[in-house]
Amino acid sequence: MQTATPLHPTRATPRIAIVGAGLAGAACARTLASSGAQVTLFDKSRGIGGRLSTRRTVWTDALGVEQPVQFDHGAVGFEAHSLAFQAVVQQGLADGWIAHWAAAGGDHFVAVPGMPALCHALIGSLDVHVHTGEPVTGLHRIRGGWQIERNSGLWPGRFDQVVLALPPAQAAPLLRPHATGWSEAAAQVPMQACWTLMAVTDTPPGPAFDLLQPTRGPLASIVRNDRKPGRQTTPGHAVWVAQASAAWSASHLEDHPAGVSKALRDALRAAINPGGEVRWCHSTVHRWLYARPARVPLGTPGCWWDAARGLGVCGDFLVGAHAEAAFLSGLDMAHAVLSAPATRRTAGSGAARFART
């Protein structure tokens, strides 16, 4: 649907706030803005993308030269099984912001130059207002609409609808004053944590690989990040993103990062140079508290939507443990908002009755 500017004077442009600018929020924003809604996207992080994230930093080599490096430390890639997401991927392949990642023979993709490029592209050409760097701390009902509160105060202006596209544990406190049942349900959604190691080493001996999935030990997956398409490379060096298993992450959830880093580096070394040594040029760890849903019960709706109040919730936790699930939930959310009555029906007018009976 093309972007349409409201022309008829009695049609006020609906103002919609989306809290959370991950893939669910971006997909929802794209569809709503494409239909002429005025969308404002809030995110607590510095940039958008959520778990489609790429961390950029530098490390200092043996000659004292700073080397840029990037780590896709959230979702390592994505697949596209639905027509809707395939259409996005195909557009991205054509435009160059998605590349095929031949990691393990399947149809896997990454965004280029970094994972957030997918969310940027989704809303790129649309008039979506994006406000990052500060969490939303409260939702307030006001004159049939909503106000958004952040630490810096109330956001000026009223929204007709609010969509929460957050991990459920973060949506729960915002929902509590308005939808107790939803708040409790969101708080109880089981999400798995994920300790993630980002490291630069000398290139290990042996054949290069893109992806390794150890069957024992703390690590569930090891990705050669610099072998993904469109990523920076440094000759003689290898860039790694290694994710701990859900079980290991859970049992070490509150460990000190230094201890976690040591354990994950040991596991990475054992995997990439068994019996040998590894020279560490750079390493750090990140803890995802809400990496992925542990399970999605059958029959779960693709989003939650209260048309009367104009309040919705979406996210991968309602669809599945993969990036496309977030996209589909965001699309479902937008579809629910777009299909709901947006204006009061003029049931008293003759022609309205005429058109209906």
User: Which residues ranging from 248 to 307 are in contact with a second copy (CB under 8 A)?
Assistant: 302
Q: Select from 9-17, 59-67, 149-157, 227-235 the region that touches a second copy (CB under 8 A).
A: 9-17
Q: Which is nearer to a second copy, 64 or 105 (CB)?
A: 105
Structure tokens at 171: 């949506």
Q: Which is nearer to a second copy, 59 or 109 (CB)?
A: 109
* Residue 215 found at the interface with a second copy (CB under 8 A): no
* 286, 315 contact by CB (below 8 A): no
d(CA 310, CA 145): 8
User: Which residues ranging from 93 to 152 are in contact with a second copy (CB under 8 A)?
Assistant: 93-94, 100, 103-108
Q: Select from 150-158, 262-270, 273-281, 342-350 the region that touches a second copy (CB under 8 A).
A: 342-350
Spell out the residues 6+ positions from residue 261 whose beta carbon is closer than 8 angstroms to its own.
197, 283, 284, 285
* Residue 216 found at the interface with a second copy (CB under 8 A): no
* Residue 353 found at the interface with a second copy (CB under 8 A): yes
User: Which residue in the set 89, 128, 198, 268 belongs to the binding site for a second copy (CB under 8 A)?
Assistant: 89
Q: Which is nearer to a second copy, 19 or 241 (CB)?
A: 241
d(CA 169, CA 166): 8
Q: Which is nearer to a second copy, 169 or 338 (CB)?
A: 338
Q: Which is nearer to a second copy, 152 or 357 (CB)?
A: 357
Q: Select from 45-53, 86-94, 234-242, 251-259 the region that touches a second copy (CB under 8 A).
A: 86-94
Q: Is 299 exposed, middle or buried (0-12, 13-18, 19+ CB in 10 A)?
A: exposed
d(CA 81, CA 83): 7
User: Which residue in the set 59, 78, 97, 182 belongs to the binding site for a second copy (CB under 8 A)?
Assistant: 78
Q: Which is nearer to a second copy, 100 or 279 (CB)?
A: 100
* 337, 328 contact by CB (below 8 A): no
Report the Cα 6 to chain-centroid distance in Å.
Answer: 31
What length does the chain have?
A: 357
Q: What angle do CA 335, 338, 340 make, to 5 degrees?
A: 105
What would the x/- binding string for a second copy be over residues 31 to 70, using CB under 8 A? xx-xxxx---------------------------------
Q: Which is nearer to a second copy, 256 or 354 (CB)?
A: 354
Q: Are strands 129-132 and 38-43 parallel, antiparallel or unpaired?
A: parallel
Q: Select from 58-66, 92-100, 233-241, 257-265 the region that touches a second copy (CB under 8 A).
A: 92-100
* Residue 73 found at the interface with a second copy (CB under 8 A): no
Q: Select from 30-38, 49-57, 66-74, 163-171 the region that touches a second copy (CB under 8 A).
A: 30-38
Q: Which is nearer to a second copy, 3 or 151 (CB)?
A: 3
Cα torsion at 15, 20, 24, 28 (round to 10°)?
A: 10
Measured over the CA atoms of residue 223, residue 225, residue 226 and residue 230, the dihedral's sign is positive
Q: Select from 78-86, 181-189, 194-202, 230-238 the region that touches a second copy (CB under 8 A).
A: 78-86
d(CA 210, CA 101): 9
Structure tokens at 230: 């469109």
What would the x/- binding string for a second copy be over residues 312 to 341, using CB under 8 A? --------xxxx----x--xx--x-xxxxx
d(CA 20, CA 265): 32
Three-state DSSP class for residue 291: strand
* Residue 235 found at the interface with a second copy (CB under 8 A): no
